[in-house]
Amino acid sequence: MGEPLLTSLPAAAGPAVVTVAPAWAVAVVAVLGALALAAAALDGVLSARSASAGGAVGAAGRPLGEASRLLRQRRRTTVQADTLLWRTGGAGLLVAAALMLAVVPLGRWTVADLAVGVVWFNAMDVMVWALVWLVGWGANSAHALVGGYRFLAHGLGYELPLMFALVAPAIAAGSLNVGAVAAAQDGLWFAAWMPVAFLVYLLGVAGFSVWGPFAPALGTDVAGGVRAELSGVDRLVLETGRYALLAAGAAFAVPMFLGGGAGPLLPDWAWTLVKTLAVLALLVWARRRLPALRPDLFMEIGWLVLLPAALVQDLLVAVVTVWRS
């Protein structure tokens, strides 16, 4: 891997975004893996605390023990399963998370400085719809298929509000480039004057990660839903994909709402990681603090509350942006 190559500048004032050589994509995957492991460790600790079982050190290492167990476990097969689609769905979650992270600047370095990076991220999260549904469909199992359709029903509720939540920072920055959005927050983070968009965005991240309130797709009432027939490495890939999506969503929040790598004392790449870990910890913690929502109930909330709120937020941001210009 060579030295980073300067290829583009953000539209707004601020530090230049440097596109690194494609070989640095390996580092992006490594960072994603580390963030996913951190999320799994924290989730293990919080699970142990809620169950009053085991110490923090043992609980933090439990995800590694579970991964080791699943690697030794035999893969389950079902009658007339569509194995290709089944496994494509699970592995695709990891690919989608890596592609989301590719447009997130680590400080001033990024693998892909796309002019439409915000749209790219949104396209990847929409792709998750198909991937999770494929996991449910491919097993040729009633419980798994019900779980897949539950996820689609949740998606109908969170996707539009999430899309319009991402519009607000882009309007304020006057650009769909992620680096330009981060640079436009010089002095005031977008999370401070776009709190509704930030909250809706976090709900969207939980949604496409099948996390917390959006976990009925994995419900015990349907024998585990989309993961009902998954075992061994297939189950490990699905669970890793969920943590990776959560980590990618947390990382994307940093340039969109939290000022990117801006901060005192530490270098910009370090601030990006610190802010990402803070958002990731919040999402993991919230898993046990929010009730699971039935898809039909959340669809009402999403369309009657979140979507109008996000649209009002967009309108206010547009008015302020025009006034400032």
Look up the pTM and report it: 0.91
pLDDT surpassing 50 at residue 2: no
Model confidence pLDDT, tens digit, residues 193-224 = 899 999 999 999 999 999 988 888 898 888 88
For the chain, the domains span: 20-44+58-324
Residue 110 phi, psi (nearest 5): -145, 155
Distance CA 244, CA 93 (A): 8
Give DSSP secondary structure letters for 232-291: HHHHHHHHHHHHHHHHHHHHHHHHHHS-TT--SSS-HHHHHHHHHHHHHHHHHHHTTTS-
Question: What's the rounded mean pLDDT across residues 268-289?
Answer: 93
Model confidence pLDDT, tens digit, residues 234-262 = 999 999 999 999 999 999 999 999 999 88
Q: What is the mean pLDDT of the chain?
A: 88
The per-residue pLDDT for 53 is 61
pLDDT surpassing 70 at residue 46: yes
pLDDT surpassing 70 at residue 122: yes
The per-residue pLDDT for 182 is 93
Model confidence pLDDT, tens digit, residues 4-41 = 433 344 444 455 688 888 888 898 899 999 999 999 99
The per-residue pLDDT for 59 is 72
